[in-house]
Amino acid sequence: MFNTILVANRGEIAIRVMRACREMDIKTVAVHSEADSNALFAKYADEAHCIGLPPASQSYLRIDRILDVAEKTDAEAIHPGYGFLAENPVFARECGKMGIVFIGPSDKSINAAGSKITAKKTMEKAGVPVIPGISAEIEDPESAIDAAEEIGYPVIIKASAGGGGIGMKIAKNAEELVSAVHSTRAVAKSAFGDDTVFMEKYLLQPRHIEFQILADSYGDTVHLNERECSIQRRHQKLIEESPSPVMTPELREKMGAAAIKATRAIDYTNAGTVEFMYSLGDFYFLEMNTRLQVEHPITEMVTGIDIVRKQITIAAGGRLDLEQEDIGINGWAIECRINAEDPLNDFAPSPGRITRYRSPGGPGIRVDSGVHTGYTISPFYDSMVSKLISWGQTREESIEKMLRALYEYIIVGVSINVPFHKAVLRNPHFINGELTTHFIEDFDVLTQVRAVVEGEKEKGVTLASAIGADDRKVAAITAAVKTYIVNQDRK
């Protein structure tokens, strides 16, 4: 086992990894920008080193500086977390050159999954279902028109090297297709330095379902069942749950087998996620994320498996020591991504100083966070405040616990998306499990968010009134919020 691990990330995921290391009696090294000098993750680590200015390009993306710290601190391994360099094959390769273990897959596996066109061809060859489309680069808009006619509109244009829905465009006819190709190509060039684009059939009533994978270097591979990730804004996930409301034992077996087949097709090791689109009874390979996912806690909650601990063990040469039949599902877990953003202003980020912070707790509630009262949400990085996770014996119970926790959460000083989560979890379509990736638009969720905000203002229970309040008043406000929601439920 390793003696020292450097965590090449920040915020809550850095703390999450360091907690696993502390349990395993492994020393941790943090690297941070000047903006994060006083951040919790930097203080939590056994040792912390500043590697540059606040912009990520001058700190968290500097491979040379990170490796320099690793060498100075005798770190035997690096955990990349997610984001930043987590899926960068160059970083994985440079770690190997220095004799440092990259806690993740090989650079070859990252490369194989990184290009959507290459990955799609690989999965087709392996017999994994893929979305109908052109598995090749679109050279010019006109060349795609004939194929689109054969596939059938609508179609969607995607960046091959991209992720997170960046640049995606939907086309309902030939004219829109030409415009979409030009637009996506320009965005892809700017965002990823690669203007390669491709086309797929646009699915109706799509759901985003992913399977968590663990694979060791001895050829053993298992999946940890599925997560439903359909509640999104601009293709970015906001609410996830496990298991999926649409899943059946038969479908889980088929999708799980396809996920393992996809993993083995690129000779994958460590933790990863195979993502599928599900539409009208069929499922299709979407992409593979070659890293730990933001939503991994809900899988941990329902399986009892510590995924980060498994990552470290596998990277150290240990065996997976898990059989597929041993992995079950206990209860239901939901994760809400609590972000400093305003859902009523197109989810615009809301950087600033948190003047009061109090996280919820109690049975069935987990909070993964790296913030505190006085902490400043930086404009240089992702706006995530925390991941709020609920667990219950049933989906209904998990929803109830999440709603209770949301109404206990005190975050003052920045706009947060808690009203959005309240609105979604009280939406009858969500309660019935009627989810699609267009949930926000299809069910006019933002109107419901506005109603939540206005309703709380009318009742005098807005959390903004907690500014400057002492602990007794905060407790009174929390109690008032809980009373209000109970009364609303009884109407």
Q: For the residues of 163-222, what is the DSSP string, one character each? A: -TTTT-EEESSHHHHHHHHHHHHHHHHHHHS---EEEEEPPSS-EEEEEEEEE-TTS-EE
Q: Is 291 among the residues known to form the active site?
A: yes
Last residue of a domain, one of 140, 168, 201: 201
**CATH number of the domain within which 36 lies:** 3.40.50.20
**Does residue 352 form part of some domain?**
yes
Residues 176 and 325 in one domain: no
pLDDT score recorded for residue 358: 95
Residues 37 and 177 in one domain: no
Residues 151 and 81 in one domain: no
pLDDT score recorded for residue 460: 59
Domain that holds residue 215: 207-490
- pTM metric for this prediction: 0.88
In order of 128, 205, 209, 282, the CA distances from 254 in angstroms are 10, 20, 13, 11
Residue 234: band (very low, low, confident or very high) from pLDDT cuts 50, 70, 90 = confident
Residues 154 and 301 in one domain: no
Residues 74 and 151 in one domain: no
Residues 215 and 150 in one domain: no
Residues 264 and 351 in one domain: yes
**Does residue 119 form part of some domain?**
no
Residues 250 and 194 in one domain: no
CA-closest candidate to residue 231, choices 217, 219, 245, 211:
245
d(CA 461, CA 455): 9
Residues 158 and 77 in one domain: no
Task: Give the chain's domain count.
Answer: 3
**Does residue 162 form part of some domain?**
yes
Q: Given a cut of 80, is residue 135 above it in pLDDT?
A: no
Q: Given a cut of 50, is residue 470 above it in pLDDT?
A: no
Mean pLDDT (whole number) for 194-205: 90
pLDDT score recorded for residue 461: 53
Residues 374 and 250 in one domain: yes
**Does residue 171 form part of some domain?**
yes
Residue 127: band (very low, low, confident or very high) from pLDDT cuts 50, 70, 90 = very high
Catalytic residue among 291, 358, 366, 426: 291
Last residue of a domain, one of 88, 103, 118: 103
